[in-house]
């Protein structure tokens, strides 16, 4: 246990890094995924095509390979980021956006087609219809699957630990190496830190779900 | 008989003479896959005219109504609105739709917005009307259709008849040149049908140009200038209501009327 309490500052450092990586990637993936979902239901065929290719390509690639690409391959073709943190942020956002896209798209499909027809009939454009009528209703049904995706994202940030970002998992590995006798408590401590992030998101999800419920 | 002929005649003839027809369909064809749902449709609606489209289910009457604001694209032919051909997708189409009010069978009120927001949304977002002005106009329209006291409720809290009257107010808020009604009373309980038909009748009396797909023969007799009878994707017969209901020419119209008027 001593290995934990004498290294609380390291835990705190890793916890903050994981938290920032999660929040930044979740926000970016939410925006990017929603735009992709709009592409996938757009009347423009080339946008639909782009959305489909993106989703199929990205969600079927292991996250580690996405990281490899942004940390090792991208700089060689001239795409550089200021830090490993930014690379990890980009990799996680791009990867998670594919899943967000599919969740949001299923939400869009759950909104009755009559809602969009009525919106178009009063002269709203495609973008306005999506923004004002369809997405606000879609997000209500999408909250549970989105929280699923964000919980998976929280845990996926641990991949960044393998790519020189000192988040929780990297700290855990370092502490386990330096305290071989206390490997189990050190890793349990890391696990608890992830729970501190994920369990509240689950609670937040059910709260949001109750708040946004409405009668159809 | 001559009296009623004169009446219906004088109701439709002068309006038809007001310059260009407001809505005009020429040689319109539409397919759903291999199904030819609209065949050689030629019709025009004059300014101020009320046209009722009737026919058996599957005859293409709803599809016809929905092609007029391009909720259903057509495969060939032309549709013009106030002399302008319907644009393809995009902003131009959205602008044109703003001039065509539409009322659906299933109401389709925006479920997450209040009654008042349902009515103000179009003017504010599609026409750039200021919120205060949009709300004032919306309350006037809600008053007119008799649901002003429900303004702050969500659609699901209203009865079907009230929802449909809100939907009419929502369409009217755009100050449309023409109103399309796609079976507006078919989803309503019998006791609520009249409250919707009353609103529609008063609109017709005020000179609104209307295309109404309906099974309500009473409304057709009372408010329509012309009845169009469709079957199998074709316009089979067109006549003034009194003439159509008392002396239908085609066998299919006779058959249809005998089925719906016997009980």
* Minimum distance, in Å, between the CA of residue A145 and any CA atom of chain B: 21
Using left for φ > 0, alpha for ψ between -120 and 50, and beta otherwise, residue B74 falls in: beta
pLDDT tens digit sequence for A131-185: 999 999 998 889 889 999 999 999 999 999 888 888 888 988 889 888 888 889 8
Task: Determine the Cα–Cα distance for residues B157 and A129; give it in Å rounded to an integer.
Answer: 23
Residue A112: per-residue pLDDT: 87
Tens digits of per-residue pLDDT, B104-133?
999 999 999 999 999 999 999 999 999 999
ipTM for the predicted complex: 0.85
Question: B16 falls in which pLDDT band (50, 70, 90)?
Answer: very low
Would the pLDDT of A216 be above 60? Answer: no
Q: Which domain holds residue A137?
A: 2-212
- Band (pLDDT 50/70/90 cuts) for residue A1 is low
Residue B174 phi, psi (nearest 5): -85, 0
Mean pLDDT value across residues B225-252: 93
State the DSSP string of A53-72: HHHHHHHTS-HHHHHHIIII
Question: Can you say whether the dihedral through the CA atoms of A121, A124, A130, A134 is positive or negative?
Answer: negative
Subunit contact B104:A132, Cβ cutoff 8 A: no
Query: pLDDT per residue over A81-139, tens digit each?
Result: 888 899 999 999 999 999 999 999 999 999 989 999 999 999 999 999 999 999 999 98
Indicate which CATH number applies to the domain containing A203.
Answer: 1.10.3720.10
At residue B50's C-alpha, the angle toward residues B49 and B55, to 5°, is 135
CB proximity under 8 Å: B 190-219 to A = none
Chain mean pLDDT for chain A: 90
Contact: B98, A122; criterion CB under 8 Å: yes
User: Which residue blocks in A62-182 are alpha helix, DSSP H?
Assistant: 63-68, 74-76, 84-110, 113-121, 126-128, 135-156, 168-178
Helix (H) or strand (E) holding B38: strand B35-45
Whether residue B88 lies within 8 A of chain A, CB to CB, comes out as: no
Q: Does A110 touch chain B (CB under 8 A)?
A: no
Q: Per the structure, how many domains does chain A have?
A: 1
- Distance, C-alpha A173 to centroid of its chain: 24
Q: Of the given ranges (A68-82, A87-101, B224-238), which has the lowest mean pLDDT? A: A68-82
Q: Which residue has the tokens 């002269």?
A: A123
Give the predicted TM-score (pTM) of the model.
0.82
């Amino acid at each position: 246990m001593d290995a934990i309490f004498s290294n609380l500052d390291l835990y705190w450092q890793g916890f903050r890094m994981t938290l920032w990586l999660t929040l930044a990637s979740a926000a970016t993936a939410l925006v990017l995924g929603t735009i992709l979902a709009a592409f996938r239901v757009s009347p423009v065929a080339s946008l639909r095509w782009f959305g489909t290719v993106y989703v199929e390509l990205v969600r079927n690639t292991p996250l580690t390979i996405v990281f490899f690409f942004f940390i090792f391959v991208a700089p060689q073709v001239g795409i550089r980021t200021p830090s490993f943190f930014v690379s990890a942020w980009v990799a996680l956002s791009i990867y998670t956006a594919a899943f967000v896209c599919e969740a949001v798209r299923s939400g869009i499909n759950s909104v009755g087609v009559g809602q969009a027809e009525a919106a178009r009939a009063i002269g709203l454009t495609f973008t306005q219809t999506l923004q004002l009528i369809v997405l606000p209703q879609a997000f209500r049904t999408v909250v549970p699957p989105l929280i699923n995706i964000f919980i998976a994202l929280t845990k996926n940030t641990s991949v960044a630990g393998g790519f020189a970002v000192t988040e929780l998992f990297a700290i855990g590995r370092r502490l386990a190496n330096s305290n071989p006798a206390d490997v189990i408590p050190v890793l349990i401590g890391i696990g608890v830190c992830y729970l501190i992030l994920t369990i509240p998101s689950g609670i937040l999800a059910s709260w949001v779900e109750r708040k946004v419920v409405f009668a159809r | 008989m001559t009296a009623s002929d004169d009446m219906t005649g004088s109701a439709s003839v002068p309006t038809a003479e007001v310059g260009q027809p407001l809505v005009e369909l020429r040689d319109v064809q539409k397919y759903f896959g291999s199904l030819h749902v609209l065949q050689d449709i030629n019709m025009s609606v004059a300014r101020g005219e009320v046209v009722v489209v009737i026919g058996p289910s599957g005859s293409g009457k709803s599809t016809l109504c929905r092609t007029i604001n391009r909720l259903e694209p057509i495969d060939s032919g032309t549709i013009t609105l106030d002399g302008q051909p319907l644009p393809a997708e995009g902003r131009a189409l959205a602008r044109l739709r703003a001039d065509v009010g539409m009322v659906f069978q299933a109401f389709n009120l925006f479920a997450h917005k209040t009654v008042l927001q349902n009515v103000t949304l179009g003017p504010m977002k599609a026409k750039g009307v200021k919120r205060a002005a949009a709300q004032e106009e919306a309350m006037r329209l809600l008053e007119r259709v008799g649901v002003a006291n429900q303004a702050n409720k969500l659609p699901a809290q209203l009865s079907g008849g009230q929802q449909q009257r809100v939907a009419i107010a929502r369409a009217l808020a755009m100050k449309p040149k023409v109103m399309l009604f796609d079976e507006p009373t078919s989803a309503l309980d019998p006791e609520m049908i009249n409250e919707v038909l009353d609103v529609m009748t008063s609109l017709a009396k005020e000179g609104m140009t209307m295309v109404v797909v309906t099974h309500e023969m009473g409304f057709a007799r009372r408010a329509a200038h012309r009845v169009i009878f469709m079957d199998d994707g074709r316009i089979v017969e067109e006549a003034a209501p009194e003439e159509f209901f008392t002396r239908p020419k085609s066998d299919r119209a006779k058959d249809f009327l005998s089925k719906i008027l016997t009980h």
